[in-house]
Chains A and B, each alone.
Chain A
């Protein structure tokens, strides 16, 4: 079922329950108000009738006209309240109350007659019976109303508690559901996206739910698959193209090297310069093609290593030997500090490529008659190799940039030293593939140190 539908159903049920119990609270409070009103009316009647009793006796004792008026006004004010009260339980009280007026009129009328005491006694007795009946009835009603009010109040309280509980449960439910069904899969999706973003197109996002997120994951996997096919095409294209490009470069390089060697006869200075330009640019073109091919392999996680167990020290010494002609041109000397190290498994050709790159950069950025230090040592579970130069150094903000493809942050004096801008990115890819790390440290103006590690035991 869709997440939207589930959430809507959940919300619908919660809202209905909340509404139902809110309605109960409302009804109960209304009832409390009604019962309070009823109790108040009953008390009022009780009080009035008691007073009417007293005023009647006062009148009988003092026979003052003032008391008649007092009695009537008291009677009328409460008569209004009784008139407003609904029929039913108030009916008997109403009838008795009407009778009170009649009886009181008779009592006052009788007073003017002679020899009245017997009748008066009877009327007063009747009056008292009626008034006490009213008092009794109103007390009963008041008591009942009071009890009802308490009950209604309890219902209202309970309903409020239940409403609150429903709200809390609904909220918790929504939170848990969101966490389990939405947040977790989204987190998985985000993680998968990052992995795929890094170039691993074989990664499949494992979300099989039949909701929106499931659909998204499935669309994502489809897209990754399409990308994978495109990536294979791209790699095939790049591989074929670079092979095709390297084929004509091969005889050009052989011929110009033979020319420069003098194998084809003596060259004049101008001819030598011409052959040298051809050779240099061909070699640059060749390097460029190789680097583009390498970086495309690294970026599509397709770089393969041809590893064997060997001494890294031997590899470093050989590379330095190969770099000496280039260093000699700038009268740069190498200072090496290579410790006796255990044999490790690595791709000799690729590590030589990394070393050549780092040493080449060091030569590029070291002033004439400078020196380059190359060290290797054991460091924990790894072997660390450092290439230090005393060149211009790298600004702190550029230290991370330099390992990204096509990032050249060369100082102006080295700008005519052509590079492909891919060297360090390739180094990072090669070292990463070996399970090691590569980084640069530098004090701007004082030189840089490029270090990489290779694990002694490869996982």
Chain B
């Protein structure tokens, strides 16, 4: 069965583009345009990876990941950040405390993204 990925981003065009790209690789994709919706979806069904934007209104990606890590059923969920904010701006504590599996910087390089995504979902 194809691996299933949830993409969370408030930008519609980014969401659609990422969906197209990942579907094209051959994975199953679902999308959410805010943290609340994503959390509801995560509680309903299981995903192999969550691709999470950081800068979102209402609930930021960081807040969402904190909620995921706090939930006993979801705390081992694989999550990777996908953000315009670079890693040094996010702070080291984010990587240490919230343990995202990877950190993709927007705009992504498609070839590099594919390589790393395959590595994560191997």
Contacts and interface: CB of A to CB of B under 8 A. Distances in A.
A253 B92 CA distance: 28
A243 B14 CA distance: 14
Interface residues of B, number: 22
Contacts of B16: 251
A271 interface: no
A251 B9 CA distance: 12
A248 to B, nearest CB: 7
Contact of B89 (A239, A248, A249, A349): A239
B74 interface: no
B101 interface: no
B87 interface: yes
Contact of A243 (B17, B55, B92): B55
Nearest to B106: A250
A239 B89 CA distance: 10
A264 B17 CA distance: 12
Interface string B34-61: 0000000000000000000001000000
A257 B106 contact: no
Interface residues of A, number: 26
- If over half of B's interface residues share one DSSP class (helix, strand or loop), that class is named, otherwise mixed; here it is helix
Given A255-B17, A261-B110, A286-B107, A250 B87 contact: no
A82 to B, nearest CB: 109
Contact of B17 (A246, A254, A305, A347): A254
B108 A250 contact: yes
B64 interface: no
Given A243-B84, A306-B87, A250 B107 contact: yes
B68 to A, nearest CB: 23
Given A257-B110, A286-B107, A251 B13 contact: yes
B14 A247 contact: yes
Contacts of A261: 110
A258 interface: yes
Interface string A249-277: 11111110110010110000000000000
Contacts of B108: 250, 253-254
A122 interface: no
Contacts of A242: 84
Contacts of A304: 88-89
B117 interface: no
A253 B88 CA distance: 23
Contacts of A347: 88
Contact of B107 (A239, A246, A303): A246
B18 to A, nearest CB: 7
Interface in A286-321: 286, 303-306
A258 B24 contact: yes
Given A243-B55, A250-B14, A263 B24 contact: yes
A247 B82 CA distance: 11
The winner among B17, B18, B111 for most chain A CB atoms within 10 A is B17
Given A250-B14, A250-B17, A303-B88, 9 more contacts: A243-B84, A250-B107, A251-B11, A254-B17, A254-B110, A257-B109, A264-B20, A282-B107, A347-B88
Interface of B: 11, 13-14, 16-18, 20-21, 24, 55, 84-85, 87-89, 92, 106-111
User: What 7 pairs across the A-B complex have the smallest Cβ distances?
Assistant: A257-B110, A251-B13, A251-B17, A254-B17, A250-B107, A246-B84, A253-B107
19 contacts: A243-B84, A247-B11, A249-B106, A249-B107, A250-B84, A250-B106, A250-B107, A250-B108, A251-B13, A251-B16, A254-B17, A254-B20, A254-B107, A254-B110, A255-B17, A257-B109, A258-B20, A261-B110, A305-B88
